[in-house]
Structure 1
Amino acid sequence: MDRVSVVVPVYNAARTLEKCIRSILKQSFRGLELILVDDGSTDKSLAICKKYRARDERIVVISQPNAGSIASRRRGVEAARSDYVVFVDADDWIDRDMIRILYEEAVKNDLDLVVCNTYKVLGWARERNNSWYFNEDKLYYKEEIRKKLAAAYLWGHPFPATLHGKIYRKRIVVENGSFLSKIKFFGDDLYYNLEILLHAERLKVIHTPLYYYRVGGLTCRYMPHFFEDMITGYEIQKTVVERYYPDTKEKEYDGICIMLLNLLRSSLYNLFVGRLDKVQIKQLIFRYLTHENVRECLYNKGCLKYFPRDYLEAIYKQDTEYMYRLGKRLYLRRLPHKLMIELCSFL
């Protein structure tokens, strides 16, 4: 029986997919299956998947109509025959020893998940995650996980929120997902991991970077459900605070309110990434500013200390012109970076 199932959701990834697949098939670990879930690709991705399946019996190819990354991962997990699951994005690749190292740690210490460090890759440049979480290898137990790791997701997730760069006990992945079912696209990794961490008994962080994450994606394309997912995420966080953090409720509420109003700025930027005219943008901004959850956060003590007064006043007064100008400034400021990412993605 295979000991680890590697799930790769695939959508129009023909340019990067082969490097991803090769990095998995060349693992020093023996006893893996590779599940490639093509999500209705319109390029040559499915043909590439089938080509490698014909060469290697460890590969399973699933083809489905376009349903998004959440559904693709779920389909892959349903097909997995192993006790442990690893997620890899089709744009990325992994170190030759990643699966062996993570699996051995998981089995030796009876862990629900193991988290390794990652490299961010932009063109030829690589940058490791220098967060304090990766200063050393460290074991965490249930209460520590709740207080130090899961709680970080209530403050903008400084602890890695991605599904990649981790190995999961399959059972904990299958038994959780109620938060994820409410999200359309933005924040899917974060809220899946939040629920998993709240139920994890044992976890280990490894300081060594073993996963290569290609920078790009979310900041480069318009997300029509961004604001809706942002609000849904806030509602999930409120539920989590009430249920799991009664002892630090006020502090955690500060965190989720600050996170929401920070994401409000990101939602303004997102509008300019889409092909919307000024009238459409201002109509959406008005809807954002009048939403009950945004109004609720406006009066949070943490937000009153954290944000500039003019930003809070613009929300209070529902000043769509101020917010339109802010969104445009954010877009123009990030445009050179966006163009650089798009250019480097061809290297």
Structure 2
Amino acid sequence: MSKVLSVIIPIYNGEKYIKRCLNSVLEQTVINLIEIIIINDGSTDNTEAICIDYKNKYDNIIYSSIENKGVSNARNVGIHLSKTQYITFLDADDWIEKDMYEILLKRILKFDLDIVIGGYVKDYNSKIVNRFKKSKLTNYNRLEAQKNLLKNKIFGWEMCDKIYRKDILKEIAFDNDLIICEDLLFQWHLFKKVKRVGFIPIYKYHYCYNLDSATNGCFNKKYLSGIKVKIRIYKEAKLIDYELSKLALENYFDELGIVCINMMKHNYILLNRFKCYQKIVRKNIIKILKAKGISKKHKLGLCFLVLPYIFCKKIWSIRKYLCLKLV
């Protein structure tokens, strides 16, 4: 039987968890419709030996070893290697429940969707957390899907809990220079092309919390890219719809606060940049306080940034005694 779905798995030094990931795909109820594409992104541990062993055992596994250039490049390579009509992504330290792809494939085929979303949970080994609001099974048109993407409350902008029609991926590539918001930027480009997006609240993708992952590492200058991504989306959203532009602007303000607080958290202060962001927050503080899409905790963090930098620094140093949680 011909394959319908390509599961693209980028991996770098994943010897500890790749077996769990691969087994969760091989146990899928529609495994006969699936090709698995493993992209080894220059691993230096025992990852390659494990992946080759799986490739030799299963004829539906495609394996490619490339120079280490990051997850975005690895995903682009995987898209190029895919031979099926539909594509999905799976991070090598995560896993999926055995009927996830069957449920999503049935939906995308039945309604001829461009994207179908199943949702995810955060998996802390002993604790499963679902941060999303309860919602019902829905099909969205393009604008509805874009708004919900930016709201980030019913479903998120992560790549791996979704199945995509390959046709809409052809002219889009992941930005290899981004380590923050690369998923959001890619999804934004996709959602500008779609006609219909389906959502099924099954939450069968397990995003496993990993202290060594890119988003949990030390802060550096590359993390400022999230601000550039969100201001770019805001400028494009203004040309599409007023409400969409408001959501994009709220995302931009939120990112300013997150970046500034993380600079302080990791003691990585780019002072001129920090003060520039503070000016933007001060200028827009009324909009920020009125914004429905910014949480109370994040509004507190943004209000904190209105203060002169010297006071921010002092308050940050004693925040534990003040019981302040700013992000």
How does the TM-score come out when normalised to structure 2? 0.84
Q: CA deviation at 1:288?
A: 2.3
Q: Which moved further from structure 2: 305-314 or 6-15? A: 305-314
Contact 2:121 2:206 in 1 (8 A): yes
Q: CA deviation at 1:253?
A: 6.0
Instruction: Determine if the alignment matches structure 1 residue 201 to structure 2 residue 201.
Output: no
The amino acid that maps onto 1:311 is F
Q: CA deviation at 1:231?
A: 2.7
Contact 1:254 1:302 in 2 (8 A): no
Which residue in the other structure is 1:140 paired with? 140
- Rounded Cα–Cα distance in structure 2 between residues aligned with 1:33 and 1:118: 22
Which residue in the other structure is 2:251 paired with? 256
Q: CA deviation at 1:297?
A: 4.2
Change (3 A) 1:199 1:54: same
Give SS of 2:200's match: strand
Which residue in the other structure is 1:302 paired with? 287
Give SS of 1:139's match: strand
Give SS of 2:139's match: strand
Q: CA deviation at 1:171?
A: 1.5
User: What aligned pairs does 1:219-238 form with structure 2 within 5 A after superposition?
Assistant: 220-238=216-234
Paired residue for 1:322, among 312, 319, 322? 312
Aligned sequence identity (%) = 23
The amino acid that maps onto 2:76 is R
Contact 2:188 2:233 in 1 (8 A): no
Change (3 A) 1:327 1:48: farther
- Rounded Cα–Cα distance in structure 2 between residues aligned with 1:93 and 1:302: 40
Which residue in the other structure is 2:10 paired with? 9
Structure 2 unpaired stretches of 5+: 291-298
Q: Please provide the CA RMSD for this pair.
A: 2.9
Q: Which moved further from structure 2: 163-172 or 117-126? A: 117-126
- Rounded Cα–Cα distance in structure 1 between residues aligned with 2:95 and 2:319: 35
Structure 1 unpaired stretches of 5+: 273-280, 335-347
User: What aligned pairs does 1:63-212 form with structure 2 within 5 A after superposition?
Assistant: 63-132=65-134, 135-146=135-146, 148-152=147-151, 159-177=155-173, 180-181=174-175, 183-212=177-206
Change (3 A) 1:249 1:81: closer
The amino acid that maps onto 2:287 is G
Contact 1:27 1:96 in 2 (8 A): yes
Which residue in the other structure is 1:277 paired with? none
Contact 2:7 2:90 in 1 (8 A): yes
Higher helix share: 1
How does the TM-score come out when normalised to structure 1? 0.80
Which residue in the other structure is 2:295 paired with? none
- Rounded Cα–Cα distance in structure 2 between residues aligned with 1:249 and 1:100: 32
Give SS of 1:62's match: strand
- Rounded Cα–Cα distance in structure 1 between residues aligned with 2:302 and 2:72: 38
User: What aligned pairs does 1:259-338 form with structure 2 within 5 A after superposition?
Assistant: 259-269=254-264, 271-272=266-267, 281-282=268-269, 284=270, 286-291=271-276, 295-300=279-284, 301-303=286-288, 306-307=299-300, 311-314=304-307, 317=308, 319=309, 322-323=312-313, 326=316, 329=319
Q: CA deviation at 1:68?
A: 0.5
- Rounded Cα–Cα distance in structure 1 between residues aligned with 2:91 and 2:131: 18
